[in-house]
């Protein structure tokens, strides 16, 4: 399994880095769109669509909606606004699972939820790519999420005792959450000191980083919740040794739109 994970990572990493940082404009939107569309194909299974043609059809709907959003950039604020409301609701659904499953609306409701998860993630990345220091912003949100994941892993492994959401993801602990949050704040503080941020900007950046990381945890737990309800371990086997696309981007689907909104509110897009 470890060998398979390493081989897959060695193949995918250069492709991902080139796609994220070398592509621009429509090519970048298409690259991210392919990833999100594959995520849509996987989500259809979590939503209860067992037949392959139906899963492909849902993925095509996702692709068409992404195309529409690309040609209607004025919808971006609405897409991100809806995402903020969704992730607030998702937090409540995770905290009250399994009772909350009665409110998902069956397969139609789950298919709609998939759109609320996937479309804003694409929209957020496309916006980040258009703003000043685009690649730095993309690196920043990824480092925040990955740094928190690493911090949570080691902190949870060493100190983890109290379960964070035992009915959703028994392996996660409050101690892991604290460790991940601390890691992200230390990363942010290090960047702030190196860049010489003023006190107000420094504190706002720390608060923003904390919010992004906390929402990324909700993103992870949300996918885990739907997988648990469906009795599925991995969203697919598209990535040998790593599971599916959704298993790799679940945290980012929540973190990216929140990160984009915070920067938007801070006036970054106008710089």
State pLDDT tens for residues 161-195: 899 999 999 889 999 999 999 999 999 999 999 98
pLDDT value for 23: 92
Question: Nearest CA to 21 among 149, 184, 140, 106?
Answer: 140
Whole-number average pLDDT of the chain? 91
What number is the average pLDDT over the span 226-246? 78
The whole model's pTM is what? 0.94
pLDDT in tens, 17-75: 788 888 999 999 999 999 999 999 999 999 999 899 999 999 999 999 999 999 999 99
* Local structure of residue 268 (DSSP, 8 states): G
| Cα 73 from Cα 76, distance rounded (Å) | 6
Q: How confident is the model at residue 2 (pLDDT cuts 50, 70, 90)?
A: very low
| Largest interatomic CA distance in the chain | 56
Annotate 120-174 with three-state secondary structure: HHHHHHHHHHHCCCHHHHHHHHHHHHHHHHHHHHHHHHHHCCCEEECCCEEEEEH
Q: How confident is the model at residue 240 (pLDDT cuts 50, 70, 90)?
A: low
Say which residues have a Cβ less than 8 Å from residue 76's Cβ, sequence separation at least 6. 69, 123, 126, 127
CB-based contact 203:189 (threshold 8 Å): no
What number is the average pLDDT over the span 103-126? 95
pLDDT value for 60: 98
pLDDT value for 220: 94
Q: Where are the domains of the chain?
A: 2-270
| Cα 43 from Cα 92, distance rounded (Å) | 20
């Amino acid at each position: 399994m470890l060998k398979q994970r390493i081989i897959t990572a060695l193949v995918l990493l250069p492709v991902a880095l080139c796609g994220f940082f070398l592509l621009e404009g429509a090519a970048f939107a298409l690259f991210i769109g392919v990833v999100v569309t594959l995520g849509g194909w996987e989500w259809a299974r979590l939503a209860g669509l067992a037949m392959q043609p139906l899963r492909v059809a849902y993925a095509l709907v996702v692709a068409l909606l992404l195309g529409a959003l690309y040609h209607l950039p004025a919808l971006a604020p609405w897409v991100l606004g809806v995402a903020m409301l969704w992730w607030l609701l998702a937090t409540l659904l995770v905290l009250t699972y399994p009772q909350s499953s009665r409110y998902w609306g069956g397969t139609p409701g789950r298919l709609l939820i998939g759109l609320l998860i996937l479309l804003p993630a694409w929209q957020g990345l496309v916006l980040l790519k258009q703003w000043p220091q685009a690649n730095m912003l993309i690196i920043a949100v990824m480092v925040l999420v990955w740094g928190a994941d690493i911090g949570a892993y080691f902190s949870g492994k060493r100190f983890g005792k109290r379960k964070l959401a035992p009915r959703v993801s028994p392996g996660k602990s409050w101690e892991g959450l604290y460790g991940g949050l601390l890691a992200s704040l230390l990363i942010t503080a290090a960047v702030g000191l190196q860049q010489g941020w003023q006190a107000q900007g420094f504190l706002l950046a720390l608060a923003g980083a904390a919010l992004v990381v906390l929402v990324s945890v909700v993103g992870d737990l949300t996918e885990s919740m739907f997988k648990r309800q469906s009795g599925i371990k991995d969203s697919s086997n598209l990535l040998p040794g790593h599971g599916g696309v959704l298993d790799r981007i679940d945290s980012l689907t929540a973190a990216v739109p929140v990160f984009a909104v915070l920067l938007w509110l801070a006036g970054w897009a106008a710089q």
